[in-house]
Chains A and B, each alone.
Chain A
């Protein structure tokens, strides 16, 4: 079995439709892999190819050891035999069935006996126990999307595809459903491929990111590394570091909440996370300052010692990577500042982060990002 066969999903396909050409190869392991890119970058086409709703001109798709498509060997598994769960942007619940019947729909075809414990576990994980006897027409957008996730999970897929599942929801509904997706990622044990054009969602959820641009894979790798790449700024807007941290407790002196992690300690305005909660914090590079010595008389609360790991030229200025005890922070500086401070790789510095720059609403929870 090659590495591709062992991966949760390995894709190597090409397809041409009019002016649009897709030529993409990537592999994803367990956990949540984000397919990230602008609209028109080929994300949905890739989803259709994996789900079996479209055929590639050439290529091969393998999921969990099962060959789904292999044009060379003339293999094309029809959608219903792929065991690829799909959560669509528009939920697509069956309007003539109750929530309970919607959830049970795939089980019949998975040829599994009804397992009340698993049903209860999925219903509990998604918090949809009170909705079971209702009809989809009476549900809110967020509720529908949770039922759609449960329905896909209960069909026991080898892989779950989520096609912009939050794009049709307003901010409040997104905030309501994100924790459930984190639980899905951490508890369900099903690899997830998550399509999105939102940096915030991807930063919060993804372990691995595959960046698509113009039908090609522009970059792929661990979320932390992709999100601070200077050359991808046109795509993701603002680079930043992803830090895996834990809520240590309130800091009475400042009225802030103290987070601890590999990089050190951060004071942030937290809303509701109890001590012990593991969070992933996105620190935008534009909100990080670099000083040669620990500052005196400065309002910023968060001062993390580290050493320059790399200096990457960015569209405007320089993206400085700072290794803080193994965790990488990114700071966006002007070329002049880099010159004045004589920053070179290896140089010891302190990184300064404004507490208010960190948005607690964007905290991801659960395990830190999985890297492969």
Chain B
């Protein structure tokens, strides 16, 4: 890889881990957006049997040990897993692939994303949605033209949080897809590996600084978006 070896002390393998982490986190976040929004909307706006159960399942990754989540993913999506075997026949493989890392990150970030989105959807004035309906807008259009724009900063903040979580995810990822350089060795896995080998401290420290910088950036972006959402609601 041509990107500056030696710059802040990162070698090609470390850079590979950073770029892989960015890719995994981006894919995990983007793929979670539609289901995240749908679940957040269901929890914010609909009363249905099984709502409490859905709420609990969504929050499960937040309270389970990440290793347990990773192991459950392995049981479900491993090569011999409940869904993994069928998906493998369709050509979709998660086990020991970067896509598996993305799946693990998506699952771990999902509760954070849904929480933020749900709060901001709940803050949208339902009377505005009623007004849109009285003007002829069907429910999906009401969502796309009124609910979503008004809750956008909060929804984006949720996505940023999920992205940050994905950048830092370790336990579920390493349990599910192991720690293969260039395929599933994300930033935290690389740091962990470097701390386990003699002479790896320098590179580990560099990667740690990168990780801290990315996390702080994500947090600042999330805060800025949340502040904007707050201002917009006050302006009404």
- Chain A residues at the B interface, C-beta cutoff of 8 Å: 51-53, 78-86, 88, 90, 92, 94-96, 105-106, 108-110, 136-137, 151-152, 155
Chain A residue nearest in CB terms to B234 = A137
- Chain B residues at the A interface, C-beta cutoff of 8 Å: 125, 127-128, 130-139, 141-142, 145-146, 149-150, 232, 235-236
Given A94-B146, A95-B235, A96-B149, A151–B127 Cβ distance below 8 Å? no
6 closest Cβ contacts across the A-B interface?
Answer: A109-B136, A106-B135, A92-B131, A86-B134, A79-B133, A155-B135
Query: For the complex, would chain B's binding face be called helix, strand, loop or mixed by DSSP majority?
Result: helix
A-B contacts, 28 of them at CB < 8 A, read: A51-B130, A78-B138, A79-B130, A79-B133, A79-B134, A80-B134, A80-B135, A80-B136, A80-B137, A80-B139, A80-B142, A81-B136, A86-B130, A88-B127, A92-B131, A94-B132, A95-B236, A105-B135, A105-B137, A106-B137, A108-B136, A109-B136, A109-B138, A110-B136, A136-B236, A137-B235, A152-B134, A155-B134
Expressed in whole angstroms, the minimum distance between the Cβ of B229 and any Cβ of chain A is 12
Most buried by B among A83, A84, A86, A95: A95
A84 to B135, CA, bound (A): 8
A95 to B129, CA, bound (A): 12
Expressed in whole angstroms, the minimum distance between the Cβ of A335 and any Cβ of chain B is 51
Residues of B within 8 A of A136 (CB): 236
Expressed in whole angstroms, the minimum distance between the Cβ of A122 and any Cβ of chain B is 14
A155 to B134, CA, bound (A): 9
Residues of B within 8 A of A84 (CB): 134
Interchain CB contact under 8 A, A53 and B150 = no
Residues of B within 8 A of A81 (CB): 136
Interchain CB contact under 8 A, B138 and A80 = yes
A108 to B137, CA, bound (A): 8
Expressed in whole angstroms, the minimum distance between the Cβ of A73 and any Cβ of chain B is 23
Chain B residue nearest in CB terms to A82 = B134
Taking a contact as CB atoms closer than 8 A, the residue among B135, B137, B236 that contacts A137 in the complex is B236
Expressed in whole angstroms, the minimum distance between the Cβ of B113 and any Cβ of chain A is 22
A152 to B141, CA, bound (A): 17
Residues of A within 8 A of B138 (CB): 78, 80, 109
Chain B residue nearest in CB terms to A136 = B236
Most buried by A among B127, B128, B135: B135
Residues of B within 8 A of A137 (CB): 235-236
Given A95-B236, A137-B235, A53–B135 Cβ distance below 8 Å? no
Chain B residue nearest in CB terms to A86 = B134
Interchain CB contact under 8 A, A80 and B133 = yes
Interchain CB contact under 8 A, A95 and B150 = yes
Expressed in whole angstroms, the minimum distance between the Cβ of A294 and any Cβ of chain B is 56
A79 to B126, CA, bound (A): 14
Chain B residue nearest in CB terms to A85 = B134
Interchain CB contact under 8 A, A53 and B130 = yes
Chain A residue nearest in CB terms to B142 = A80
Residues of A within 8 A of B145 (CB): 105
Residues of A within 8 A of B150 (CB): 95-96
Expressed in whole angstroms, the minimum distance between the Cβ of B129 and any Cβ of chain A is 10
Expressed in whole angstroms, the minimum distance between the Cβ of B4 and any Cβ of chain A is 43
Interchain CB contact under 8 A, B136 and A83 = yes
A105 to B141, CA, bound (A): 11
A90 to B128, CA, bound (A): 10
Residues of A within 8 A of B235 (CB): 95, 137
Interchain CB contact under 8 A, A109 and B127 = no
Residues of A within 8 A of B128 (CB): 92, 94-95
A86 to B134, CA, bound (A): 6
Given A80-B139, A96-B150, A137-B235, A51–B132 Cβ distance below 8 Å? no
Interchain CB contact under 8 A, B149 and A106 = no
A79 to B235, CA, bound (A): 28
A96 to B137, CA, bound (A): 16
Interchain CB contact under 8 A, A109 and B236 = no
Taking a contact as CB atoms closer than 8 A, the residue among B127, B133, B136, B232 that contacts A90 in the complex is B127
A371 to B107, CA, bound (A): 66
Residues of A within 8 A of B136 (CB): 80-81, 83, 106, 108-110, 155
Chain B residue nearest in CB terms to A95 = B236
Most buried by A among B128, B136, B137, B236: B136
Taking a contact as CB atoms closer than 8 A, the residue among B127, B132, B149 that contacts A105 in the complex is B132
A105 to B135, CA, bound (A): 7
Residues of A within 8 A of B146 (CB): 94
A30 to B130, CA, bound (A): 26
A106 to B131, CA, bound (A): 10
Residues of A within 8 A of B130 (CB): 51, 53, 79, 86, 92
